[in-house]
Structure 1
Amino acid sequence: MFQLKASGTDAKTEVISGFTTFLTMVYIVVVNPAILSAAGVPFNTVFMATIISTVIGTLWMALFANYPIAIAPGLGMNAYFVTVVTTQKLDYSIAFAAVFVAGVIFLLLSLTPIREKIITAIPHNLKAGITAGIGLFIAFLGFRMTGIIVQNNSNLVGLGDLHSAEALLAIIGLFVTLILLALNVKGALFIGMIITAIISFFTGELKFTDGIIKLPPMPEFIFTNPLHAFGDVMTHGLYAVILSFLLITIFDTTGTMIGVAKKAGLMKGESLPNAKQALLADAVSTTIGSIFGTTPTSAYVESSAGVATGGRTGLTTLTVSILFLVSAFFAPLVGAVSSISAITAPALIIVGSMMIGAVKEINWDSLDEAFPAFLVILAMPLTSSIAIGLAFGFISYVILKIFTKKWHELNGFLIAIAFLFFILVAFLPH
């Protein structure tokens, strides 16, 4: 079913890769409810909705697309959701109605060739820039979440306190994992996380104060009649909100899929085989997730950690979806492990170093090709947004091609995407 031999992998490797991806992204089941609670959404509601949407999207990716790319509610979209609720003084159920309508439109677009055309429309040099940019993005995330790099008033970012327990543990975990990789130990990233977790337990950082197992709360419907969602959107005029959800989700997921797929060697030339099913995964999970109470889903950059461990097929994401389902019964354990960033950060930093190698594919001798790719690489980590990085790249690419009189290298679809990105950056909240 998963064509393991044809993909040059085996069941053991895929399962280990699934565990690796799961451990690097499971924080979302705790972080997402914590963020959305600021909009008044009950913690247990978001907790179960996060798991449901993640399982549905990731399982779809596993069974229908056969890709090792996991799906879960995207960070950034949940913060934007809170902003919409608080600034417009809406009930959170009304805001979820906007998410649902955006999900339905997203689903309809995914059934057309439009999203597949976006993938093929992205020039080769920008694709390489996306992979490298995502690499820097997740490496920077790993340094930041452990306090190795911190906010600095004089220079935006600076060196953190390397004597702190979190930073020390992350540095130890980083070098343990690097040594395992240098020794060609199979599953080094996953083993490194396990060793770091054991160290954190014996140093007193990892604590299980609330036990390990707890029965999950029953999922709840935010609204029972989907037709009411469309009525709520029209009544409150949430059209700009829907457009923001739609554009950011489309391009964020597309960029992540391209970056991770290139790292896994899944791209065939400039296209992604079976792209429609892969792109349907987040559309389906976004639509269903909004009914239960969570924000739009996206392909997760942390999937690259599982790919680096050897994941190449849907068996990796099947493992991820099963683990997320099981996590509903182990909320205290998940909460304890995901609270220690040093356990997963080393894997993100190392995978980032692997992905930055894509810069060698960029034609640095041609400014109109190189500079847009450079903007993608620079903007993704600095703005913490894959979509904004793509926007800078697309807009500058089209402008440079126009003024260097290389019209033949552009097409209407490419120009339309650049125009949508211009609207996103210039006029919509993000």
Structure 2
Amino acid sequence: MERLFKLQELGTNMKTEVLAGLTTFLTMAYIIVVNPAILSAAGVPFNQVFVATILAAVIGTAVMAFSANYPIAIAPGMGMNAYFTSVVATQGLSYQIIFGAVFLAGILFLLLTFTKLRELIIESIPDSLKYGIASGIGLFIAFIGLRMSGIVVANKSNLVALGDFHEPVTILSIIGIFITLILNARKIKGSLFIGMLITAIIGYFMGLLHFDGIASVPPSIKFFDLDISGVFSHSLYTVVFAFLLVTIFDTTGTIIGVAEQADLIKDGKLPRAKSALTADAIATTIGSTLGTTPTTAYIESTSGVAAGGRTGLTALVVAILFLISLFLSPLVSAISGLPSITAPALIIVGSFMMEGLAKVNWRAFDEAFPTFAVILTMPLTGSIATGIAIGFITYPIIKLVSGKGKDVHPIIYIFGVIFLIQMAFFPNH
């Protein structure tokens, strides 16, 4: 294992990587329950999505582990599942047809991965935007943690407000935050995971954590017929493009954010980028044949990196835990059903991801504003892809009017135009 994943070379060890994998898995295990719940609203059988979600995560994360050696987990993305359900509802089409669109997007995704385009995208993004993407993701996941825990809630007059601090889940979340902060401040290894474990124990004695058994026999695994011809007969090209575009930039943005935090980007380039991107493309394509929406690199991987994960061994541990969860669905459901266990980790990891902002030249407006726009947009729109789009649009425009248009890579101009068209004519996609 040490030689395979180059643990010594990357300054880590097996214990750290295993703890990091456990931490990442626990912060993202909610997808095992949430994804089937969302897609079942579109008529897809719950058990089918349950198995598909886990297998897509296992395949994508295992490929990431062995081919790219990165501590990044892959699983069906939030947002795309809601979009899938809305397309089925608004278009009045069968979910088999929309899964056909997902499959075609996955194939295109895979073909693009074998070109230099996606690596070129990563390399063409200026450093200031890369730092902005990482920090924007940090605020995004911290905001998710705040909402999950009830520390902030929806408010009509001001969009968000402080929640009710008398709510048991909120109280437990605040306790979890302080426990984890103390452990981290004391520089205790595995502080995020230990914090989650202690919070879970407290939650159990508070009567908030309920177990309806530990293990169960998993549902049967089966492929179903995709209706690819229906995609063409109903001209669902914008749907395919939407799945493709969001998946590309969600994954690219997350990989950049996680890699930046783990100090894996060297001279503006990400080694083995093609392998990392291939993992997502394979998982998306196979996942669509099993019954789930496009996969993406998970922002919760940052929690594993914060716990010390630096190699594919972290990802392999996540993949193994996903596979085990096929047989432990009652246990996983109980843990993922109590936000107080994972929310503190997300909030604290959000702060870790602000580090790159110190490297941005805030006195140079043409660098500072696009970075600020990315950071601001991600948490407020709830979309990594939208934040990246805003950065790609504002950066070249400000550079052009500042007389520095030649400093911008042509790829940024091309995607800036694509994003402008997409936001103007397909804002809900």
**Range of TM-score over shorter length:** over 0.9
- Whether 1:175 aligns to 2:173 is no
Aligned equivalent of 1:318: 316
Residue 97 (structure 1) aligned to one of 82, 97, 100: 100
Greater Cα shift, 301-310 or 406-415: 406-415
| d(CA) in 2 for partners of 1:423, 1:332 | 45
SS in 1 for 2:284: helix
SS in 1 for 2:161: strand
* 1:196-242 alpha-carbon deviations (Å, 9 max, x no partner): 0011111110001x21111000122121xx6x52x221111110000
| Paired residues of 1:32 and 1:47 also in contact (CA < 8 A) | yes
| Paired residues of 1:106 and 1:283 also in contact (CA < 8 A) | yes
Aligned equivalent of 2:237: 239
SS in 1 for 2:327: coil
- The TM-score with structure 2 as length reference comes to 0.98
| d(CA) in 2 for partners of 1:420, 1:2 | 38
Deviation at 1:412, TM superposition (A): 2.0
Equivalences for 1:317-396 in 2 at 5 Å? 317-396=315-394
Residue 142 (structure 2) aligned to one of 135, 139, 143: 139
Deviation at 1:402, TM superposition (A): 1.3
* 1:167-211 alpha-carbon deviations (Å, 9 max, x no partner): 000000000011011111110000000000011111110001x21
| d(CA) in 2 for partners of 1:62, 1:357 | 26
- Runs of 4 or more, structure 1, over 6 Å off, are none
| Paired residues of 1:247 and 1:424 also in contact (CA < 8 A) | no
Residue 211 (structure 1) aligned to one of 207, 210, 213: 213
Aligned equivalent of 1:2: 5
- The TM-score with structure 1 as length reference comes to 0.98
- Identical counterparts, % of pairs: 60
SS in 2 for 1:298: strand
* 1:353-399 alpha-carbon deviations (Å, 9 max, x no partner): 11112211111011111000000000000001000000111100011
Amino acid at match of 2:70: Y
Amino acid at match of 1:221: F
| d(CA) in 1 for partners of 2:281, 2:419 | 20
Aligned equivalent of 1:404: 402
| d(CA) in 1 for partners of 2:68, 2:87 | 33
SS in 1 for 2:5: coil
| d(CA) in 1 for partners of 2:270, 2:133 | 15
Aligned equivalent of 1:47: 50
| Paired residues of 1:143 and 1:349 also in contact (CA < 8 A) | yes
SS in 1 for 2:153: strand
| d(CA) in 2 for partners of 1:96, 1:260 | 29
Amino acid at match of 1:17: A
Deviation at 1:405, TM superposition (A): 1.6
| d(CA) in 1 for partners of 2:87, 2:317 | 35
Structure 1: gaps (5+ residues):
none
Aligned equivalent of 2:223: 221
| d(CA) in 1 for partners of 2:191, 2:19 | 10
SS in 1 for 2:133: helix
Structure 2: gaps (5+ residues):
none
Aligned equivalent of 1:150: 153
* 1:259-285 alpha-carbon deviations (Å, 9 max, x no partner): 000000100111100000000011000
Amino acid at match of 1:78: N
* 1:121-172 alpha-carbon deviations (Å, 9 max, x no partner): 1001000111111111111110001111000000000000011011000000
Aligned equivalent of 2:270: 272
Aligned residues: 425
CA RMSD of aligned residues (A): 0.8
SS in 1 for 2:166: coil
| Paired residues of 1:376 and 1:393 also in contact (CA < 8 A) | yes
- Whether 1:82 aligns to 2:85 is yes
Aligned equivalent of 2:164: 161
Amino acid at match of 1:366: A
Equivalences for 1:279-294 in 2 at 5 Å? 279-294=277-292
SS in 2 for 1:344: helix
Over 3 Å counting, the alpha-carbon distance change for 1:68 and 1:79 in structure 2 is: same
Deviation at 1:417, TM superposition (A): 1.4
- Whether 1:200 aligns to 2:198 is no
Deviation at 1:421, TM superposition (A): 1.6
Aligned equivalent of 1:65: 68
| d(CA) in 1 for partners of 2:78, 2:185 | 33
| d(CA) in 2 for partners of 1:374, 1:198 | 40
Amino acid at match of 2:283: S
Amino acid at match of 1:419: V
SS in 1 for 2:353: helix
| d(CA) in 2 for partners of 1:80, 1:168 | 33
Amino acid at match of 2:247: T
| Paired residues of 1:41 and 1:92 also in contact (CA < 8 A) | yes
| Paired residues of 1:305 and 1:347 also in contact (CA < 8 A) | yes
| d(CA) in 1 for partners of 2:333, 2:260 | 32
Greater Cα shift, 412-421 or 338-347: 412-421
Amino acid at match of 1:346: P
| Paired residues of 2:396 and 2:405 also in contact (CA < 8 A) | no
Deviation at 1:257, TM superposition (A): 0.4
| d(CA) in 2 for partners of 1:425, 1:123 | 22
Aligned equivalent of 1:25: 28
Deviation at 1:424, TM superposition (A): 2.6
Greater Cα shift, 323-332 or 349-358: 349-358
Deviation at 1:87, TM superposition (A): 0.3
